[in-house]
Chain A
Amino acid sequence: MYLFRNYLLVFNILIFFQVSIFANNRDSILVIGKVSNNPQKHYSYLKPMLNYAVSHMKDLGIKKGKVLMARDNNQMIQYLQEGKIDWITESIFSALIYQQTTNAELLVRKWKKHSPNYYTIFISKKGNDINQLTDLKGRKIVLEDPGSSTAFYVPLMEMINAGLTLEFLHSVEKKPSGNNVGYIFANSEINIATWVFKGLVDAGAYNNEDWKKVDHTPVVFRKKLNIFHKSDTLPRSIEVVRNDLPDPIKKRLKSILLNIENDPSARNVLFAYQKTKKFDEINEDINNELNRARIVLNKVHENLNSL
């Protein structure tokens, strides 16, 4: 019996150490991620920034970095809830959804592709008599997908604010009833421009950068298209951290990101990180933009749920 008790004690100690080691392993790893349909490409964006951050957190016990991408916002929320991810780089509405669903913290604004902010534009084909949002009554508009900030949430909000009634269409052949505005998803920016150009829909909405990018709006299309409405600006991208990430790590990460532009050795890192110019503190102006976006998010969801 004595021998058995000793074995039990040793076993318990081993279990304890194993659990401790396992727990320490997770605590010593910083995990970055984003929603992705191309993990191979996005891995090369995220890894250099992750390595840079990890190299500046050694004294906090961070020994390793890991990339983890989610297929959609639902999976990302689950990762946040389970503590599997620490740091996310995403567009504004995804960031707000993570904040609302998991109390995730919005850390800093990212100047993705050198831009501090962007906005939604509404396009139509020249000569089809659409000059303002109310001209969309009884017509069809194409958006990107239900996770898009500037090609879903903002355009819906702009249309709701203009007093329009929205109706989701399952296919491009369907028509909205009465004076409703029928919206449909194209799943890519190039499809938005193409569908408008070809007259499959009456209008489309995406962001000002999509308009300039020939991959998204070919020059030959642009000449035949017309911008008839613009939204207010929004922060280009937000860095988010999980709510229960230890404070010293949160603070250090924030400090690393805010100071990275002053480190000449980090130029490669910023370039790889979606051509980011710098990060800045969420100040009053950005907070105002975020508050506007929160209203958009809630109002859009409210309106959709009440339809």
Chain B
Amino acid sequence: MTMIIQCLKKINKLIFLILIPSLVQANSDLKPLLEVLKENETISSEQFEKIVDAVDNNDKNNLGIPAQINTKKNDEKELLIKIDNGLKISTYDGSANFSVGGRMMIDTAYYSDDKQPIGDGTEFRRARIEFNGKMYEVWSYQLDVEFGGGSADAKEVFLSYDGFTNKRIKIGQNKAPFSLEELTSSKHTTFMENALPNVFAIGRRVGILYESYQENWTFAAGFFGESFDNDVSKEGDESWGLSGRTTFTPVSEDTKVLHFGASLNYFDQEDNSEVRFRSRPESHVTDTRYLDTGKIKDVEKQYSYGLEFAAVLGPFSFQTEYINTHLERKIGGADDLDFFGYYMYGSWFITGESRAYKSKSGKFDRVKPLNEFGAIELALRYSMVDLTNGSVTGGETDQYTFGLNWYIKPNIKIMGNYVRVDNDINADEDGGVIGDDDPNIWQMRFQLDF
């Protein structure tokens, strides 16, 4: 009989110990029961104390207070892993992190032809995978690879030293500091394509870049060669240059921004004395480039400057830029040349959001919808560029773009653009198409980044 009782006690104890966690979760008022179990020796005094502690701490949890139990899990190198915008892993001492992201932009365009047919169609405008991270506290890196054109193409590829306060030095390929619209990420632009004056942007080059910022200004300057994918089979010295940009933001609040900026660029063409400016009509599905200077020979030096202004007031914003480029030809050669372009646009978030501005880099950033159904933005842009000067007849174009953007989520966006093109007679793709062709363009983009 005693044996049976002992056996039952053991079974009882086993069942109870198995059930403790769920009992603790289910009901914190267990102390009287625990007292009885301790008295009849179903549980030991030590077990009693442990369970009471667990119950007490669970009581605190029921009040929403975190239990004050000192866990021994305090590894300083413990990792924080987040999956919100891409995958982000970082150590708690902030000395190292790594993230993987990417962007996909799928475009479709319909061209309402005027004088000659332009092929409607679709394309992967961008399909990019992006890796970046930090090591040894002060060394950062970024590697972006673009697959959108059907082959792998390196975009941002640099390492950076971040050991100074509010400044850093980057070595590798990245965008030369020139033009607000060019420097704003393609993920965050208001229109599907940059405005026409972007034809003068320096783009990505291999070099060394210094960036710094203060409370209301930024400064960046760099020394650059050519881009990563320049023609390596070409003999002769690469062109090289200097580029710099400064911005001043007297007002930079969540819904109010006042931005002024200026950029300068100098390029010595060295043995690469040919320069060519050409541009699509703010639509990338077509390969027709109405504006085309052809190869301008005997260029010795290239000087560009740009002026920027932008303002945000609640849901309204305005942005404009002017860019001028001067080509200095070799002595005894043809005349020097000057080209210019500008754009201006306004946008209105009818759902109340504001364009987000990043004061540390002097450019625009991600818009976060305030409503469940997302944010709706209307925008109107006028842009022009004149590539005709002296003996070069690259053409002149005026374009009007109406944009409708639906920011479904901070990382998912649908864009619609209607573009009215007004080409002059010289806008003939350097003789490749008929000039004075004025098509209308209807295009859409489905965009996701992570």
- Residues of A participating in the B interface, judged by any CB pair closer than 8 Å: 36-40, 42-44, 46-48, 51-52, 66-75, 77-79, 82, 84, 146-147, 168, 170, 183, 185, 213-215, 218-221, 267-269, 271-272, 275, 301, 304-305, 307
Contacts and interface: CB of A to CB of B under 8 A. Distances in A.
- Considering residues A36, A37, A51, A69, which has the most beta carbons from chain B within 10 angstroms of its beta carbon? A69
Nearest to A81: B70
A32 B152 CA distance: 43
Given A71-B80, A74-B69, A146-B66, A39 B352 contact: no
Nearest to B64: A168
Given A39-B93, A40-B97, A67-B93, A214 B166 contact: no
B352 A220 contact: yes
A304 B90 CA distance: 35
Top 5 A-B pairs ranked by shortest CB distance?
A43-B94, A48-B165, A218-B370, A268-B166, A168-B64
Nearest to B89: A40
A70 B75 CA distance: 10
A147 B76 CA distance: 21
B255 interface: yes
Contact of A267 (B76, B214, B370): B214
Contact of A67 (B74, B95, B354): B95
A214 B94 contact: no
B92 A36 contact: yes
Interface in B192-250: 214-215
B31 to A, nearest CB: 15
27 contacts: A39-B80, A39-B92, A39-B97, A40-B97, A43-B95, A48-B166, A51-B165, A69-B92, A70-B92, A71-B92, A73-B66, A75-B74, A77-B70, A84-B76, A168-B62, A168-B63, A219-B255, A268-B165, A268-B214, A269-B165, A271-B214, A271-B215, A272-B166, A304-B60, A304-B63, A304-B65, A307-B63
B188 interface: no
B314 interface: yes
A215 B368 contact: yes
Contact of B76 (A43, A51, A68): A68
Nearest to B67: A74
Interface of B: 60, 62-66, 68-71, 74, 76, 78, 80, 88, 90-95, 97, 134, 137, 165-166, 214-215, 254-255, 314, 351-354, 368, 370-371
A246 B69 CA distance: 28
A85 B157 CA distance: 36
Contacts of A213: 254
B281 to A, nearest CB: 36
Contacts of B215: 267, 271, 275
A180 to B, nearest CB: 13
A270 to B, nearest CB: 9
Contacts, number: 103
Contacts of B90: 39-40
Contacts of B351: 220
B94 A42 contact: yes
A75 B74 CA distance: 6
Contacts of B354: 214
Given A84-B76, A271-B166, A68 B93 contact: yes
A215 B70 CA distance: 34
Given A71-B92, A168-B62, 13 more contacts: A39-B91, A43-B95, A46-B94, A78-B70, A146-B66, A170-B62, A215-B254, A218-B353, A220-B352, A220-B370, A267-B214, A305-B63, A307-B63
A84 B76 CA distance: 9
A275 B214 CA distance: 11
Contact of A272 (B165, B368, B371): B165
Contacts of A267: 214-215
Nearest to B315: A219
B78 A71 contact: yes
B66 to A, nearest CB: 6
A40 B78 CA distance: 13
A82 B134 CA distance: 28
A48 B94 CA distance: 13
